[in-house]
Structure 1
Amino acid sequence: MVYTLWGEPDSGSFMVEAALAEAGQDVHLIDIDLTKDEQHNAQYLAINPLGKIPALRFNDGTTIVQSAAILLALSEEHPEARLMPAHDAPDRRHALRWLIHVAAEIYPLIELYDYPLRFAPPETHETAMRSRVRQRIRERWQLVEQAASAEGSFLLSGFSAIDLAIAAISNWAIGNEWRAKECPKLTRITETVAQRPVIAPIWRRHFGEQEN
């Protein structure tokens, strides 16, 4: 089985590429250069009308978009990879809650941080808006940090697809120095992901060398 993955380095496609590596699956990578607005060409819009990456085509020809949906689909396709707790596992509900929290409450704010004037009138003070968005992103990460710090937390009980989402998305907007100081558990998750044998080369291609 060979999957086709549309993405680019330093993007959400890292999560999918890493999940496929953990599942031992081959993948054909198609880079979409966001700096050239290739996500809005007609060919790619036919794959994802929202013009966003990643998108993943399965061996049966089905194409899935939305990172969380892709990760959940892969966890079902390859249960042996243990990307998510089994359906009857006690931690399943917690896993779903935090994956969706990161994907729905944090990830969309990255676009707002990077391109604030897409969502506000031209007279908006861009720097001030970015500052407010960054604060909101940090607050939502702190909720994840608190959950990871709780005794017996699912988030530090073993590797899962949620670790991939945490590692990738917490690299953006909030600042690595702030994350290291205010969210040490999330920093630990990120460092562990970056050092996993099958993921390490993928991490370096997307994000460079992991800082200690």
Structure 2
Amino acid sequence: MVYTLWGEPDSGSFMIEAALAEAGQPVNLIDIDLTKDEQHHAQYLAINPLGKIPALRFEDGTTIVQSAAILLALSEAHPDANLMPAIDAPDRRHALRWLIHVAAEIYPLIEVYDYPLRFAPPETSDTAMRSRVRHRIRERWVLVEQAASAGGSFLLSGFSAIDLAIAVISNWAIGAEWRAKECPKLTRITETVSVRPTIAPVWHRHFGEKPA
């Protein structure tokens, strides 16, 4: 039995698919078309009642959601892939802190940016709402930029699953020109991830020829 991943190209499922590629694990991909609202069909809601992607079914039949939880579970299942620093490694606590920062403080705001009127009264200006949310997202990315390693190729001293999260999530909402100017280390992390040999085919499936 192989892993089964529910996701969609150009979505957060990239980081899970890339982690599986890094671990050398085969995966059965099931694309959920968000433009057709397939994430709210009964069949998928039985997998994730929140109606969000990604979701991953493990080889033992267990299915879990929430990207950070999936990445941590994969790091435990495949320690040789070095998706997260080992428990006794100096980077471990920093890794946990920044993975949760990206997953909890930034990732949820993407939904608010994309669908502002889900979170505000109908009379709210969606343009003004997006502007304020973008400002907050940028503030939180700057903190990650400041924490990134001096070399700028990875967040920590070496590759980790956090770099996958940075690569995909920092592609959204903040603007490529702003990221290149204000967060050059995050831009470099994205570039490094996108051409990493094990991950490049996954990047291409999700983003095509879009530059990192």
* TM-score tier (shorter): over 0.9
Q: Are the aligned partners of 2:153 and 2:188 in contact in 1 as well (CA < 8 Å)?
A: no
Q: Are the aligned partners of 1:156 and 1:189 in contact in 2 as well (CA < 8 Å)?
A: no
Partner of 1:145: 145
Partner of 2:160: 160
Q: Please give the alpha-carbon distance, in whole angstroms, between the structure 2 residues aligned to 1:95 and 1:62.
A: 25
Deviating more after overlay: 1-10 vs 97-106 = 1-10
Give the aligned CA root-mean-square deviation in angstroms: 1.6
Q: 1:42 is aligned with what amino acid? A: A
Aligned length, in residue pairs: 212
Q: Are the aligned partners of 1:95 and 1:154 in contact in 2 as well (CA < 8 Å)?
A: no
Q: 1:86 is aligned with what amino acid? A: A
Q: Are the aligned partners of 1:47 and 1:55 in contact in 2 as well (CA < 8 Å)?
A: yes
Q: Are the aligned partners of 1:194 and 1:210 in contact in 2 as well (CA < 8 Å)?
A: no
Q: 1:116 is aligned with what amino acid? A: P
Partner of 1:192: 192
Partner of 2:84: 84
Taking the TM superposition and a 5 Å limit, the aligned residue runs for 1:18-37 are 18-37=18-37
Q: Are the aligned partners of 2:152 and 2:186 in contact in 1 as well (CA < 8 Å)?
A: no
Unaligned segments of structure 1, at least 5 residues: none
- C-alpha deviation, 1:152, in angstroms: 10
Q: Please give the alpha-carbon distance, in whole angstroms, between the structure 2 residues aligned to 1:40 and 1:153.
A: 38
Q: 1:105 is aligned with what amino acid? A: E
Q: Please give the alpha-carbon distance, in whole angstroms, between the structure 2 residues aligned to 1:120 and 1:149.
A: 38
- C-alpha deviation, 1:201, in angstroms: 1.2
- C-alpha deviation, 1:150, in angstroms: 5.8
Partner of 1:59: 59
Q: 1:127 is aligned with what amino acid? A: T
CA distance 1:120–1:84, shift in 2 (3 Å): same
- C-alpha deviation, 1:83, in angstroms: 0.1
- C-alpha deviation, 1:211, in angstroms: 2.3
**What does the per-residue CA deviation read over 1:138-184, in whole Å, with 9 as the maximum and x for residues that have no partner?**
00000000111569998242110000000000000001111001000
Partner of 1:7: 7
**What does the per-residue CA deviation read over 1:68-106, in whole Å, with 9 as the maximum and x for residues that have no partner?**
000000000000000000011111000000000000000
TM-score, normalised relative to structure 2: 0.96
- C-alpha deviation, 1:107, in angstroms: 0.0
Runs of 4+ in 1 over 6 A off after TM superposition: 151-154
**Corresponding residue SS for 2:148:** helix
Q: 1:4 is aligned with what amino acid? A: T
Q: Please give the alpha-carbon distance, in whole angstroms, between the structure 2 residues aligned to 1:152 and 1:211.
A: 18
CA distance 1:16–1:166, shift in 2 (3 Å): same
Q: Please give the alpha-carbon distance, in whole angstroms, between the structure 2 residues aligned to 1:47 and 1:26.
A: 20
Partner of 1:124: 124
Q: Please give the alpha-carbon distance, in whole angstroms, between the structure 1 residues aligned to 2:157 and 2:89.
A: 13
Q: Are the aligned partners of 2:149 and 2:157 in contact in 1 as well (CA < 8 Å)?
A: no
Q: 1:143 is aligned with what amino acid? A: L
Q: Are the aligned partners of 2:22 and 2:81 in contact in 1 as well (CA < 8 Å)?
A: yes
CA distance 1:101–1:168, shift in 2 (3 Å): same
Taking the TM superposition and a 5 Å limit, the aligned residue runs for 1:80-119 are 80-119=80-119
Q: Are the aligned partners of 1:91 and 1:154 in contact in 2 as well (CA < 8 Å)?
A: no
**Corresponding residue SS for 2:6:** strand
